[in-house]
Amino acid sequence: MALRKQFVVAPMIQMDILERKGIWDEAMAKILGHRGSKRASQSKLPPRIKLFRPISWYDGITARSVGEYVSHILMELGRLGLNIDDIESRSRPPNRETVLSDLIDWLSDHPGKAFAQLSNWQTLDLAQIRSRLDQDRSAKPRIELSAHITKMNNLSVRWHPGGWRDTEFGWHRTDRNYFNLITHRKWRRLPDFHWFTGDEDPTFDSRPSNELMYIRGVGKLRPEPRDSYGPYAIYNADVVDSILICAVRAAYEGLVKQLSQSFEVTVVHAFDFKVEDEIDDADPSPYRHELHRVVAWSIEDAAELKASRERDAAVAQDKRDQAEFASVTETYGFTLEMFVAALLHASSKKPSGPIPSTEHINRNASRDLRNAGFSIDAGGVRRVRQLIERYSPKALPESLRPEETPPTAPLPSNAIRVQENEN
357-388 tens-digit pLDDT: 889 999 999 999 999 999 999 999 999 999 99
How far is residue 133's CA from residue 337's CA, in Å, rounded to a whole number?
58
Task: Find which of 84-93, 201-210, 247-256 is predicted with most confidence, using mean pLDDT.
Answer: 247-256
Q: Which of 242, 271, 305 is the last residue of a domain?
A: 305
| Long-range contacts of 127-135, Cβ-Cβ distance < 8 Å, separation of 24 or more | 128/190, 128/191, 128/192, 128/194, 129/192, 132/192
Confidence of residue 170 (pLDDT cuts 50, 70, 90): confident
Answer yes or no: do 362 and 285 share one domain: no
Can you give the pLDDT at residue 41? 36
- H or E segment to which residue 57 belongs: none
Q: Which residue, 275, 305, 335, sits at the end of a domain?
A: 305
Whether residue 8 is contained in a domain is answered as no
Question: Is the bond into 94 cis (omega within 30 degrees of 0)?
Answer: yes
- pLDDT: is 411 or 98 the higher one? 98
User: Among 228, 215, 305, which Cα is nearest to 267's?
Assistant: 305
Residues 102 and 183 grouped into a single domain: yes
**Contact (Cβ atoms closer than 8 angstroms) between residue 140 and residue 122:** no
Domain boundary among 270, 305, 340: 305
What is the predicted pLDDT for the residue at 401?
79
Instruction: Give the per-residue pLDDT at 290.
Output: 80
286/101: higher pLDDT: 101
Residue 122 pLDDT = 92
Residue type, 284: P
Indicate the range of 10-24, 64-78, 134-148, 251-265 predicted with least confidence. 10-24
137: in domain: yes
Report the Cα–Cα distance between both ends of the chain, in Å, rounded.
134
Contact 255, 212 (CB under 8 A): yes
Kindly report which listed range (5-19, 249-263, 307-321) carries the lowest average pLDDT score: 5-19
Q: How far is residue 300's CA from residue 372's CA, in Å, rounded to a whole number? A: 55
Domain count for the chain, please give it.
2
Q: Residue 208: which of 150, 251, 250, 271 has the closest Cα? A: 150
Please name the residues in contact with 185: beta carbons below 8 A apart, sequence gap of 6 or more. Answer: 164, 167, 168, 169, 170
351 shares a domain with 213: no
Per-residue pLDDT band at 26 (split at 50, 70, 90): low
User: What's residue 412's pLDDT?
Assistant: 52
- pLDDT of 25 reads 54
Q: Is the pLDDT of residue 99 over 90?
A: yes
179 and 231 part of one domain: yes
pLDDT at 10: 47
The half-sphere exposure of 333 on its side-chain side, counting CA atoms within 13 A, is 7
What local confidence, expressed as pLDDT, does residue 6 receive?
46
117 and 243 share a domain?
yes
Q: Is the pLDDT of residue 404 over 70?
A: no
Q: Above 60 in pLDDT, residue 22?
A: no
The percentage of the chain sitting over the pLDDT mark of 70, rounded to a whole number, equals 81
Same domain membership, residue 346 and residue 300: no
For the stretch 225-283, pLDDT in tens is 998 888 889 999 999 999 999 999 999 999 999 999 999 999 999 999 999 988 776 66
Whether residues 249 and 380 fall in one domain: no
* Segment 79-92 mean pLDDT: 91
If asked whether residues 104 and 235 sit together in one domain, one would say yes
Ordered alpha helix ranges (H), 119-170: 126-135
Q: Are the beta carbons of 83 and 101 closer than 8 angstroms?
A: no
Pair 293, 234 in one domain: yes
DSSP string covering 212-257: EEEETTGGG---S--S---TT--B-HHHHHHHHHHHHHHHHHHHHH
Task: Note whether residue 190 is domain-resident.
Answer: yes
Q: Which helix (H) or strand (E) holds 105?
A: helix 99-109
Please report whether residue 5 resides in a domain. Answer: no
Tell me the pLDDT of the chain averaged across its residues.
Answer: 84
Single out the residue of 218, 220, 225 nearest to residue 249, CA to CA: 218
What domain range includes position 361?
Answer: 327-400
- In a domain? residue 165: yes
Give mean pLDDT, residues 207-213. Answer: 94
- In this structure, the answer to whether residues 282 and 392 fall within a common structural domain is no
411 is a domain residue: no
Per-residue confidence (pLDDT) for residue 60, from 0 to 100? 65
Whether 121 and 210 map to the same domain: the answer is yes
Residue type, 388: I
Among residues 345, 357, 355, 344, the alpha carbon closest in space to that of 396 is found at 344
Q: Residues near 177 by Cβ (< 8 Å), separated by ≥ 6?
A: 183
Q: What is the Rg, in whole angstroms, of the alpha carbon atoms belonging to the chain?
A: 37
Residues 94, 234, single domain; the answer is yes
pLDDT band of 47, cuts 50, 70, 90: low
For a pLDDT cut of 90, what percent of the chain falls above it?
60
Confidence at residue 156, expressed as pLDDT on a 0 to 100 scale: 97
Q: What is the pLDDT of residue 231?
A: 86
Tell how strand 264-267 and strand 142-149 pair up. parallel
321 belongs to a structural domain: no
Give yes or no for residue 45 having a pLDDT over 60. no
Residue 58 binned pLDDT confidence (cut-offs 50, 70, 90): confident
**Beta carbons of 142 and 162 less than 8 angstroms apart:** yes
Report pLDDT for 38.
43
Highest mean pLDDT among 169-173, 177-181, 188-192: 188-192
**Choice between 230 and 40, residue whose per-residue pLDDT is larger:** 230
Asked whether residue 109 is assigned to any structural domain, the reply reads: yes
Asked if 228 and 299 touch (Cβ cutoff 8 Å), the reply is no
